[in-house]
Amino acid sequence: MGVAPQSPAVRRLVWAILLAGAVALLATSAYRAATFPFTHDESLSFAIFNWDPGQGATANNHLLNTLLMQGCAQVFGHSEFALRLPNLLAHVLYLVGTLALLRRCRSMNLRLAGFVILNLNLLALDFFCLARGYGLALAFQMTSLLLLARACERRRQPAFRTDVVLAVLAGSLAVLANFAFLNYHLPLLLASAWLLLTDASLRRFQREGLPAAVALLGASGVFVGAVLFRMLQLQRLGELYFGGNTGFVPDTVIGLVRSARYAYTASPAIETTAAAMIIGTVVALALLGAYPCFRRRKVPLFALPAALLTAAVLLPVLQHLVFQTLYPKERTALFYLPLFATALIAAVDWLTRRPDRRWPGALGLALIAGFAAVLGWQFARSFDPHTCYTWRYDAHNDAVLRRIDQDRRIHRPDRIVRLGINWMMEPSLNFYRVTRGYDWLAPVTRTGIDSGDYDYIYAFAPEVRAGDRDRHTWLAAFPDTQTMLVRVDRVPEASVRP
């Protein structure tokens, strides 16, 4: 038997839980967007339309994100919340998309578990409160998956072609938000052409869809060509350096596992076990999706997201073998998270609806519940609204400059002070120097803490302690980032003997 229908009271309770969870996650993102200091890459994007337009030629320029940041800056000002507003609104779109997708599931248990695996990944949550292109791209990807599901459901209606076109358009916006999502967009194009060129069975060719498919692929080909040209330019400039060169499993799969754990050091046993489970699930989804294509007259709809996931896995491997491109890693592999979750949810939903066998549905529910339990436990264990995984070292930059301002009013009044730093903190500190109007602070440079006559030093604790200087006065230490702020106290010239 399939899953028995739940009572209306149970359904209302589940939806109340899901809506409460969505509101809580959105509120958390809003709080983080307003309070977490602006990070390294965010500040470089801000510099594009402020003091350093040359940054526009780098891979840091996520086109749609930079454009929306600039628009928000002109309308709402230069606060962290204003500049991060596009990605916060993207979180709204993403949450609405996940709820609309889960609404199609028959099992209430599946809806709950699906919400967890779609929404409680710690790395993905970071990018809905940061002014980077990844949050926008995830939201548009989820929108495209939802539109693709709706197109599959409305195959017998003339409007289904509109849903296909809109799904591809949403996928294109994801690419404009972040070029890494091209590895999702290309399989999406193939899936969309498959829908247009087949009848309701997804097996038999229909000539009526040929003009729409040709037009869609032609227009998308121009778009993809322009994106690839831009990526080749970035490759020649040495900008596409973030990624892995070891292998898809160690770089992409284990990289995603480690970042989802918010772990900065390797845990081989945990990571290998998790990677094996994920790979096994992807293989099972691919086989489960392929089997009905050869055994049934009608291909089940869950085969489409399974095919998308399989193609998105194979594409970077093929690119590495042919073009020696780097494997996606951590944030550049984020597009796998909604894709994996959607394919798994669709497959389990199909299994639970089968009237002939009960155990496949129960096994599928147990599997997705296991993934949800691990993600939920990791979220409860590691979530911290005051930090982020990728740019943790920027967590205190705003506070550091305020502390310097307090100290220099006493010890360095009426003079411009110079701050020596570790190079990674330079963009964020200059962001605050510009937006806060700190005219008492000289532009911060990346020359290192040993290469200048500084008044203050803020860097990682080992760097500060290893410095050979006259004397330091400790001002602040931050154990979570292992950084220190000190004032450099020099011996007065009049007291130095010849």
Q: What does residue 157 show for φ and ψ, rounded to 5 degrees?
A: -110, 140
Query: What is the mean pLDDT of the segment spanning 308-327?
Result: 94
Report pLDDT digits (tens) over 135-169: 999 999 999 999 999 998 887 777 888 999 999 99
Query: Residue 300 pLDDT > 50, yes or no?
Result: yes
Count of Cβ atoms closer than 10 Å to residue 221 Cβ:
11
Per-residue pLDDT at 492 exceeds 60 = no
pLDDT-based confidence at residue 35 (cuts at 50, 70, 90): very high
Token look-up 């110079």 returns 418
Per-residue pLDDT, 3: 54
* 381 class by beta-carbon count within 10 Å (0-12 exposed, 13-18 middle, 19+ buried): exposed
Tell me the average pLDDT across 327-355: 93
pLDDT value at residue 494: 41
Q: Look up residue 234 and give its DSSP letter.
A: H
Q: Convert the pLDDT of each residue in 231-244 to its tens digit.
A: 999 999 899 899 99
Answer whether 2's CB lies under 8 Å from 364's CB.
no
**pLDDT tens by residue, 251-269:** 999 999 999 998 888 788 9
- Rounded Cα distance between 388 and 403, Å, is 22
In three-state secondary structure terms, 276 is: helix
- Distance (Å, whole) CA 123 – CA 108: 26
* Better pLDDT: 463 or 23: 23
pTM reported for the whole predicted model: 0.94
Q: Please write the tens of the pLDDT for every residue from 193-238.
A: 989 988 877 778 888 889 989 999 999 999 999 999 999 999 998 9
What gap in Å lies between CA 42 and CA 65, rounded to an integer?
10
Q: Is the pLDDT of residue 497 over 90?
A: no
Return the higher-pLDDT residue of 421 and 468.
421
Which pLDDT belongs to residue 469? 53
Domains along the chain with CATH numbers: 8-382 (no CATH), 396-495 (3.40.190)
Question: According to the model, what pLDDT value does residue 5 have?
Answer: 60
Q: What is the pLDDT of residues 390-436, one digit of tens each?
A: 999 999 999 999 999 999 999 988 899 999 999 999 999 999 999 99
Q: Are 346 and 337 in contact (CB under 8 A)?
A: no
State how far the Cα of 341 lies from the Cα of 309, in Å rounded to an integer.
10
The secondary element (H helix, E strand) that includes residue 176 is: helix 160-177
Say whether pLDDT at 327 is over 80. Answer: yes
- Amino acid identity of 372? A
Pick the most confident of 46-60, 284-298, 356-370: 46-60
Q: Which two tokens stand for residue 17?
A: 């839980």
pLDDT for the residue 296: 61
Listed residue (423, 377, 432) closest to 404, CA to CA: 432
Smallest Cα–Cα separation from 107: which of 466, 361, 403? 361
- The per-residue pLDDT for 8 is 83
d(CA 475, CA 162): 61
- The count of other CB atoms within 10 Å of the CB of residue 434 is 17
Handedness of CA 124, 129, 133, 136 (dihedral sign): positive
Q: Show the tokens assigned to 176.
A: 């404009």
Non-local (6+) Cβ contacts of 19 within 8 A are 99
Angle between the N-to-C axes of helices 40-48 and 63-76, in degrees from 0 to 180, rounded to the nearest 10:
80
- When pLDDT is averaged across residues 167-186 and rounded to a whole number, the result is 97
If you average pLDDT over residues 15-29, what whole number do you get?
A: 97
Q: Give percent of the chain with pLDDT exceeding 70.
A: 94
Residue 76 has pLDDT above 80, yes or no: yes
